[in-house]
Amino acid sequence: MRTIRQAGSRELEIRRSRFVCTLARAAGEDEAARFLDRHRRAHRDATHNCTAYVVGEHGEITRSSDDGEPAGTAGIPMLEVLLRRGLTGTVAVVTRYFGGVKLGAGGLVRAYGQAVADTIDAVGVVELCPVVTVTVGVEHALAGRFLGDLHARGARPGDVRYGRGVEADVAVPVADLDGFEAWAAQVTAGRASLRRGAPGFVEVPVTP
């Protein structure tokens, strides 16, 4: 799955109506709801604050609202853009300031969808790659070489701790767990201790 790289806003003007799309990250429905509530209160002078969000580890929770626009012309087109981009953990609100010219149902669908798509392009997207943090412990005598081997492998330890021994936390892709542990055992001649931690994600920028 993917999510936006950062929060951000972008404005689109169509026939004197202003469509201001704001995107933010949200870990779950409660966070999305709080963000939308704050946004509506901050922009209560707008004609409409239409919304859509996708949350959940696999994007399984989706919601949208037309906020007074004709049914199906705002929230659903916004949500469809989020889904087509494969995003999760993302909430979108498009604030419309009516310019006096009606756009018709087709025009509204295009405007709301374009507002979200343009803003996604502006803020960027990252791939959420599932990883498990593996804590590798070695003796001080092995630490320098092992850390060098880690870097040569393309792994960057997130934290290195020095005490009676040396421990390094390494985010390992789930698909490479067994291979990494076998490699660590090999390069240390079986003298490394390995401990798996909690699963998580690392963010990899997606090139447009």
> Do 113 and 146 fall into the same domain?
no
Give the whole-angstrom CA distance, residue 170 versus residue 192.
13
pLDDT of residue 94: 98
Banded pLDDT at 201 (limits 50, 70, 90): confident
> Do 75 and 150 fall into the same domain?
no
Among 123, 143, 172, give the residue marking a domain's end.
123
Beta strands in the chain (DSSP E): 2-4, 8-14, 17-25, 48-55, 61-65, 90-97, 125-138, 159-162, 166-173, 193-205
> Do 7 and 44 fall into the same domain?
yes
Going by C-alpha positions, the residue among 51, 53, 55, 80 that lies closest to residue 1 is 55
pLDDT of residue 200: 87
Q: pLDDT tens for residues 105-164?
A: 999 999 999 999 999 999 999 998 899 999 999 999 999 999 999 999 888 888 899 999
> Do 71 and 152 fall into the same domain?
no
pLDDT of residue 158: 85
pLDDT of residue 202: 85
> Do 152 and 111 fall into the same domain?
no
Among 123, 139, 166, give the residue marking a domain's end.
123
Q: pLDDT tens for residues 170-181?
A: 999 998 999 999
- Domain that residue 168 falls in: 130-205
> Do 22 and 68 fall into the same domain?
yes
> Do 24 and 100 fall into the same domain?
yes
> Do 150 and 90 fall into the same domain?
no
> Do 176 and 119 fall into the same domain?
no
pLDDT of residue 181: 94
> Do 7 and 78 fall into the same domain?
yes
Total domains in the chain come to 2
Give the whole-angstrom CA distance, residue 184 versus residue 82.
40
> Do 109 and 22 fall into the same domain?
yes
Q: What is the CATH number of the domain that holds 170?
A: 3.30.70.240
Q: pLDDT tens for residues 45-101?
A: 999 999 999 999 889 999 999 999 999 999 999 999 999 999 999 999 999 999 989
Q: What is the CATH number of the domain that holds 18?
A: 3.30.230.30
> Do 94 and 161 fall into the same domain?
no
Q: Which residues pair with 91 in a beta bridge?
A: 24, 53
Among 123, 138, 170, give the residue marking a domain's end.
123
- 108 within 8 A of 74, measured Cβ to Cβ: yes
pLDDT of residue 48: 97
Q: pLDDT tens for residues 15-60?
A: 999 999 999 999 999 999 999 999 999 999 999 999 999 999 889 9
Q: Is the pLDDT of residue 204 over 90?
A: no
